[in-house]
């Protein structure tokens, strides 16, 4: 069996798809995480399991399943609690659909009766008031005030944030007292102290040698300060390195540093990493995040730069683990926590890994990375580890063995990993394994240790191309991940390029264990310059980014632009772009790659909404009504109101996805009313058709047809002091306007989007 689906349920007639996956064509054991909760996070029990084969690995093979096992919770008391909670959720969900159906058909008395006898909150009170004002009373002023209240309460934020934002980049020119800034580099590490507005930068590769300088940038003062010219000269300080990672602990003010790709991490001076004759070794050199040169750098250069510091021997592949204090009695001092983490259950010496810190639990998570042990002929990867800061102990959470019993995440390096703190979930995606660039995405739930594959290929789901050395940061409050592409490869072909067309992306999620949506971040609009220097940074890889969640600002520094060639005149120029990106040089040309020292900050510009963007103000509605206001006494009142409806619906339908619109003037509204037909379902009459619907002959014909829903006035409406009640046609028109407005309202504040009629299969075979 190659491709298959798994269905579960409490009965054979009602089963839910929980897995769609595929098996490898080998005898190795594979483990899959089965979805056990719905989109609302409510767990559902299971009695029956159905495996549906979809395809085999060969046309001449019959589908067969030899061995299968299920793991889960079978405790009867626990399962019973889950069943009861799930049934309560199903009852509430069905009741919400029934209530929407009743109110939509003008059965207001049973609607109110059911709502009063249940503890269910059908929608937000402000939205309910808007319904009464708009649909039942036709009170435009009150309806507009309700929309303003909803906007102030953030009920339109979901729609606003779902629209494409625009990146606003600003180049930062801050320096220290001497005018110095960190030199050009790639493969360095950065972390941020958000509380004090400080960004720390350590090491990297400048194209000739590894660096070990330590800098701090003050966000409020826009200044750099060098904390150490060479950390290797300090007691217990780390040596020069690149492709390492570091994280900041807000509780203690400590910085933790792990991993390196040092100048001496090779078998000899003619290390095979730069030998393009070997495919595997070429991948290690040409795509190294720091853009390392193809030939080894002499150890004497390292010794000369460091003075009396003796570099590590060529055969020393120890994974040192450091801690740096930014405050307290040990401020600006280093601790060597471990000379080799592999001897205490931790990872071996690795580079291009990922590291995040769970501040509340005081645990550091280290994912993936390529092992640096001197054997560059055989590519080895690291797994997923957890380091307990309190106890100083390591734990292996996911093995790096691709065929291991607990392996669900493909081992990789040069990937991205972020921590979703509310649910304690690690999101891991992208990177490289062997010669393949990856475009998959996984969610690792820390409390249970379960792995969920969100995307086997996020490129086909509307996301970026398979990428390597991309950078990602997360905003848990907005439930967004911001991705800054590095090296990419398209689905067809192996050309490695720097993304230039869509280098920045947003991944939005409702729950971290459910697939979200990918959206490109629009570039800066050059037609609207600001007083500060803007523009945007050039494409790069091996750069570093940090995120200030309080101010919603991303900071990016350095990296490798990758495509500098000697033009024969003694100068350098960038190679021309091709397709969506710019090609990356390999071999000897890689030594001419251009490293950057520019420093940028990015904010996302989103549309700021107010209630007037959804409904024209009452004054403007009166202005649009001014042309026929004097005739309203002798005309049918529904005819005058129909024109108001047409102006309103024309305004709503003309709103762009971003919600930017200016209210049309009186003359514009009249022109639009004449030239633009209102889009409406066939079952809903246009305002201009009301007189035809009230024809007595048609009414008598419809009476003989015994229509099940007539939309006649409900007895409950007599208790509402609103003058004349709307006709059936007018009620449906107002309901249409109301439901169009609900498109902009957050899902948790409104009625269900789908219809009860669509949920019931009336045309299926029993």
Give the model confidence (pLDDT) of 387-401 as tens digits: 999 999 999 998 876
Among residues 425, 428, 427, 424, the alpha carbon closest in space to that of 412 is found at: 428
pLDDT, tens digit, 9 for 90 and up, residues 602-651: 999 887 665 555 555 444 444 443 343 334 334 455 555 556 555 555 55
Supply the CATH classification number for the domain 3-72: 2.60.120.260
What pLDDT is attached to residue 614?
Answer: 58
**Residues 407/435, Cβ–Cβ less than 8 Å:** no
What pLDDT is attached to residue 523?
Answer: 85
What pLDDT is attached to residue 693?
Answer: 44
What pLDDT is attached to residue 764?
Answer: 65
What pLDDT is attached to residue 303?
Answer: 30
Which DSSP helix (H) or strand (E) runs through 280? helix 279-286
**Residues 61/2, Cβ–Cβ less than 8 Å:** no
What pLDDT is attached to residue 89?
Answer: 93
* Ranges of the chain with pLDDT below 70: 264-315, 401-407, 490-494, 525-534, 563-592, 608-705, 721-723, 764-766
Give residues with Cβ within 8 angstroms of 638, minimum separation 6. Answer: 690, 727, 729, 730
**Residue 33 dihedral angles phi and psi, to the nearest 5°:** -85, 120
Sign of CA dihedral 538, 540, 543, 546: positive
What pLDDT is attached to residue 613?
Answer: 57
Residue spans per domain, the chain: 3-72, 125-162+609-750, 166-605
What's the pTM value of the predicted model, to 2 decimals?
Answer: 0.77
What pLDDT is attached to residue 654?
Answer: 54
d(CA 321, CA 341): 7
What pLDDT is attached to residue 328?
Answer: 92
**Residues 561/499, Cβ–Cβ less than 8 Å:** no
**Residue 428 dihedral angles phi and psi, to the nearest 5°:** -120, 130
**Options 2.120.10.80, 2.60.120.10, 3.40.50.300, 3.30.2000.20; CATH of 166-605:** 2.120.10.80
What pLDDT is attached to residue 60?
Answer: 79
Strands 436-437 and 223-228: unpaired
Residue 43: both structure tokens together: 């767990």
């Amino acid at each position: 069996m190659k491709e298959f689906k798994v269905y579960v349920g409490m009965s054979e007639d009602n089963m839910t798809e929980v897995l769609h996956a595929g098996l490898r064509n080998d005898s190795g054991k594979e483990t899959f995480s089965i979805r056990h909760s719905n989109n609302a996070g409510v767990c559902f029990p299971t009695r029956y399991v159905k495996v549906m084969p979809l395809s085999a690995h060969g046309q001449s093979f019959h589908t067969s399943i030899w061995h299968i096992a299920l793991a889960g919770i079978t405790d009867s008391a626990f399962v019973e609690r889950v069943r009861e909670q799930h049934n309560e959720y199903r009852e509430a969900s069905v009741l919400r659909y029934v209530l929407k159906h009743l109110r939509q058909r003008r059965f207001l008395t049973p609607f109110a009766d059911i709502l009063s006898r249940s503890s269910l909150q059908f929608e937000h009170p402000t939205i309910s008031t808007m319904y009464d004002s708009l649909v039942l009373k036709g009170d435009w002023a009150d309806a507009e005030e309700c929309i303003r209240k909803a906007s102030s309460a953030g009920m339109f934020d979901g729609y606003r944030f779902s629209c494409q934002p625009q990146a606003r980049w600003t180049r930062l020119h801050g320096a220290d007292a001497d005018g110095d800034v960190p030199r050009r580099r790639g493969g360095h590490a950065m972390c941020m102290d958000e509380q004090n507005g400080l960004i720390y930068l350590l090491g990297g590769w400048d194209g000739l040698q590894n660096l070990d300088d330590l800098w701090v940038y003050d966000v409020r003062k826009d200044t750099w300060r060098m904390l150490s010219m060479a950390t290797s000269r300090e007691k217990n300080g780390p040596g020069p390195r690149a492709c390492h990672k570091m994280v900041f602990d807000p509780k203690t003010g400590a910085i933790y540093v792990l991993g390196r790709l040092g100048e001496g991490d090779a078998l000899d001076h003619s290390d095979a990493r730069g030998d393009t004759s070997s495919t595997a070794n070429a991948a290690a050199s040409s795509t190294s995040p720091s853009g390392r040169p193809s030939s080894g750098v002499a150890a004497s250069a390292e010794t000369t730069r460091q003075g009396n510091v003796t570099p590590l021997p060529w055969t020393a592949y120890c994974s040192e683990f450091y801690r740096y204090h930014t405050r307290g009695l040990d401020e600006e001092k280093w601790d060597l926590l471990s000379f080799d983490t592999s001897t205490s259950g931790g990872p071996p010496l690795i580079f291009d890994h990922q590291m995040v810190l769970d501040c509340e639990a005081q645990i550091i998570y280290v994912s993936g990375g390529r092992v640096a042990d001197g054997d560059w002929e055989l590519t080895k990867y690291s797994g997923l580890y957890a380091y307990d800061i309190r106890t100083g102990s390591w734990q292996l959470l996911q093995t790096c063995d691709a065929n291991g019993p607990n392996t669900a995440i493909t081992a990789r390096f040069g990937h991205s990993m972020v921590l979703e703190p509310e649910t304690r979930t690690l999101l891991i995606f992208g990177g490289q394994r062997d010669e393949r660039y990856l475009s998959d995405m996984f969610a690792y739930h820390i409390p249970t240790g379960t792995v969920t594959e969100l995307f086997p290929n996020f490129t086909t789901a509307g996301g970026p191309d398979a990428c390597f050395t991309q950078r990602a940061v997360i905003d848990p409050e907005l439930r967004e991940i911001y991705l800054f592409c590095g090296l990419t490869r398209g689905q067809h072909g192996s050309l490695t390029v720097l993304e230039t067309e869509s280098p920045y992306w947003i991944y939005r999620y409702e729950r971290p264990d459910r697939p979200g949506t990918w959206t490109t971040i629009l570039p800066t609009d050059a037609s609207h310059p600001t007083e500060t220097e803007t523009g945007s940074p050039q494409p790069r890889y091996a750069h570093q980014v940090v995120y200030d969640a309080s101010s919603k600002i991303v900071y990016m520094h350095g990296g490798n632009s990758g495509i500098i060639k000697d033009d024969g005149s003694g100068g350098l120029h960038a190679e021309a772009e091709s397709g969506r990106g710019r090609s990356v040089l390999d071999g000897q040309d890689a030594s001419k790659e251009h490293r950057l020292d520019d420093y940028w900050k990015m904010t996302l510009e989103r549309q700021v909404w107010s209630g007037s963007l959804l409904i024209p103000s009452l004054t403007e509605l009166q202005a649009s009504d001014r042309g026929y206001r004097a005739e309203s006494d002798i005309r049918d009142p529904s005819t005058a109101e129909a024109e108001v409806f047409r102006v309103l619906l024309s305004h709503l339908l003309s709103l762009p996805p971003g919600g930017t619109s200016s209210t049309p003037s009186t003359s514009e509204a009249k022109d639009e009313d004449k030239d633009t037909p209102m889009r409406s379902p066939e079952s809903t009459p246009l305002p201009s058709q009301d007189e035809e619907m009230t024809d007595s002959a048609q009414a008598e014909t419809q009476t003989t047809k015994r229509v099940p829903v007539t939309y006649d006035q409900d007895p409950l409406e007599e208790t509402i002091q609103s003058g004349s009640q709307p006709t059936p046609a007018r009620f449906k028109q107002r309901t249409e306007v109301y439901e169009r407005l609900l498109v902009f309202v957050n899902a948790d504040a409104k009625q269900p989007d789908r219809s009860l009629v669509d949920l019931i299969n009336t045309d299926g075979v029993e």
